[in-house]
Amino acid sequence: MPQVSKKTLNVGGRLVDLSIPKVMGILNLTPDSFYHGSRIASVDQLIDIAGSMWEQGASFIDIGGYSTRPGAIDISVSEELDRLMPVVEPLNKFLPEIIISVDTFRSEVAKLVVAKGAHIVNDVSGGTLDPHMLREVLALKVPYVLMHMRGTPQTMQQLTGYGNVVEDVIRDLLPTIRRLEADGLADIIVDPGFGFAKTQAQNFELLRHLDAFQALNLPILVGVSRKAMVWRTLGCAPQDALNGTTALHMLAIERGASILRVHDVRPAVEVIKLWSETHTLQ
């Protein structure tokens, strides 16, 4: 079976064991998230859902205030902060064990939300949309999810020209990884960016060869939950794509994924438990 390259993650002094994959639950504070089931309307609702995710086995909660679906509307920094800032302290108060990831590509947002109590920065742009992001993450000294994307959420689907998508994505990520490691960032998580500047065929090619990313010697995060690569392939809607998502989650961890970013925590935890049992018996 694929070996997890880096088996621990230091989150504010807490050591997270990644030898068994972990689950990151998605909480979108945006009114236009592509999957309506992940949209949150109030702080109370967010605490309730986050609590349920924790009880079901999520190790991380990923909060986002900017929709990055293809063609999403751009919003201001202040509007993004207005969505994120009120929820971090309540999450830490009522769920102190949960690790909070902030889904943003803006350094100012990352700085302020981490100051409020978030633990991880999850940057869909991999540092390409804000020239200050990498410097800010180094200053914050928090784990950083480095995702691959080209262009912006508004233009990315016109930027899918690759020679070999697996090799090109790794080649695109390497300079940033080397820079961050050289400057002392100990905890980098790599996300190949399923659905971001990728065609359907390219998404499946990345998943087919996910184990190639093990060469980076970093944990791999996979985010395929209810995405178009699932529901378009199956000819259904996002709300009917859980079964397909679950199938791809098993393939992802078989190929070395360390973290599954998901809308539905319990099914993902069950996949990991069954995978773990089959590998324990070997």
Q: What is the pLDDT of residues 147-156, one digit of tens each?
A: 999 988 878 8
pLDDT, mean over the chain = 91
In a domain, 14, yes or no: no
Res. 34 pLDDT band, cuts 50 70 90: very low
Q: Is residue 264 part of a domain?
A: yes
What's the gap between Cα 110 and its chain centre? 15
On the question of pLDDT at 2 being above 50, the answer is no
pLDDT exceeds 80 at position 177: yes
Q: Does 271 map to a domain?
A: yes
pLDDT exceeds 80 at position 38: no
- Identify which has the larger pLDDT, 173 or 41: 173
Q: Is residue 11 part of a domain?
A: no
Torsions phi, psi of 128, nearest 5? -90, -15
Alpha helices (H) along 1-75: 43-56
195-243 pLDDT, tens digit per residue, is 999 999 999 999 999 999 999 999 999 999 999 999 999 999 999 999 9
Task: Tell whether 8 is covered by a domain.
Answer: no
> What percentage of residues in the chain have a pLDDT greater than 90?
80
Q: How confident is the model at residue 281 (pLDDT cuts 50, 70, 90)?
A: very low
pLDDT tens, position by position, 256-278: 999 999 999 999 999 999 999 98
This model's pTM is above 0.85: yes
CATH number of the structural domain spanning residue 215: 3.20.20.20
Q: In b/e form, how buried is each residue of 165-203, taking b as 16+ CB within 10 angstroms?
A: bbeebbebbeebbeebeeeebebbbbbbbbbbbbeeebb
- pLDDT, position 110: 98
Q: Is 2 helix (H, G, I), strand (E, B) or coil?
A: coil
Asked, for residue 12, whether it belongs to a domain, the answer is: no
Place 134 in a pLDDT band, splitting at 50, 70 and 90.
Answer: very high
Q: Where would I find the beta strands (DSSP E) of the chain?
A: 8-11, 14-17, 22-28, 60-64, 99-103, 120-123, 144-147, 188-191, 221-222, 259-262
Among 146, 141, 46, residue whose Cα is nearest residue 92: 46
Burial of 99 (0-12, 13-18, 19+ CB in 10 A): buried
pLDDT average, residue stretch 4-30:
88
Residue 266's contacts (CB-CB under 8 Å, 6 or more residues apart) are 56, 57
Query: Is residue 1 scored above 50 in pLDDT?
Result: no
Reported confidence tier of residue 162, pLDDT bands at 50, 70, 90: very high
pLDDT score recorded for residue 151 = 86
Domain assignment present for 169 = yes
- Average pLDDT of 103-130? 97
pLDDT at 6 over 80: no
- The count of structural domains within the chain is 1
Q: Which residues are catalytic?
A: 227, 261
Distances in Å between the alpha carbon of 14 and those of 25, 97, 120, 142?
A: 19, 10, 12, 12
Q: pLDDT (tens digit, 9 = 90+) per residue, 68-97? A: 776 667 889 999 999 999 999 999 999 999
Answer for the pair 102, 113: CB distance below 8 angstroms, yes or no: yes
- 35 pLDDT band (50/70/90 cuts)? very low
Lookup result for tokens 């089931």: 37
Torsion of CA 246, 250, 253, 254, to 10 degrees: -160
The answer to whether position 54 is within a domain reads yes
Domain range for 112 is 20-280
